Amino acid sequence: MLPFKKLFLLPALLVCVSACSDKPQDTAPEAGAKAETVAAEDSSGHSHVEVPIGLTKIGDLLVSLAQGHGAMKAGEESHLVIAWPVMDGGATTVRAWIGTSDRSQSLVEKGTFSPSRGDYNVHVMAPDPLPDGVQWWVEIERPNGSRSVGSADPILE
């Protein structure tokens, strides 16, 4: 009789596992969730790898960040992908820079919204030399005019 019970338990277990693994597309990953490296293609058709660098709280948003173009290098361009669960169709203004909170010796660039992915992409030149304690800095300006700033550690050589 034992094999007969296993026959009924296996389909129930498979249904539970598949139902539990489905995640809604419009929510941010939970803190501590394992992020995955994503291969993506930008608007110019160039493919690149985006490596998650973590979740950070910017204002009232839990923001997911991923770095593209490999490890950050002094004097070279880096790519940052910024995503959160609020679907605003690109109405938010996102700016990013590499360096310190005071933006000293940093170029601040405005992000572009990717409607197909629902995230923002920013390409920024890193200062040369990279300052001690270098970070990605992100400013989010919501449609209502409120601004919030947060940061995250980059992937370095």
Structure tokens at 43: 């608007």
Domain count, the chain: 1
Which tens digits make up the pLDDT trace of 136-156? Answer: 999 999 999 999 999 999 999
CA 4 – CA 9 distance, rounded (Å): 9
Q: Is residue 157 part of a domain?
A: no
Question: Is residue 4 assigned to a domain?
Answer: no
Answer whether residue 80 is part of any domain.
Answer: yes
Q: Is residue 140 part of a domain?
A: yes
Q: Which pLDDT value is given to residue 48?
A: 67
Is the Cα torsion angle 116, 118, 123, 126 positive or negative in sign? negative
Whole-angstrom CA distances from 143 to 80, 146, 147, 148, 150 are 21, 7, 9, 12, 18
For residue 27, tell me if it sits in a domain. Answer: no
The model's pLDDT over 90-122, given as tens digits with 9 standing for 90+, comes to: 999 999 999 999 999 999 999 999 999 999 999
Quickly tell me which residue has 């991923």 as its tokens: 66
Q: pTM of this prediction?
A: 0.71
CATH number at residue 101: 2.60.40
Range(s) of the domain holding residue 146: 42-152
Q: Answer whether 38's CB lies under 8 Å from 10's CB.
A: no
Upstream peptide bond of 129 is cis (omega within 30 degrees of 0): yes
Q: What share of the chain is helix, strand, coil (3-state, %, to 5)?
A: 15, 40, 45
35 part of a folded domain: no
pLDDT band at 87 (very low <50, low <70, confident <90, very high): confident
Structural domain includes residue 9 = no
Decide if 91 is inside a domain. Answer: yes
User: Whole-angstrom Cα distance, residue 93 to residue 156?
Assistant: 26
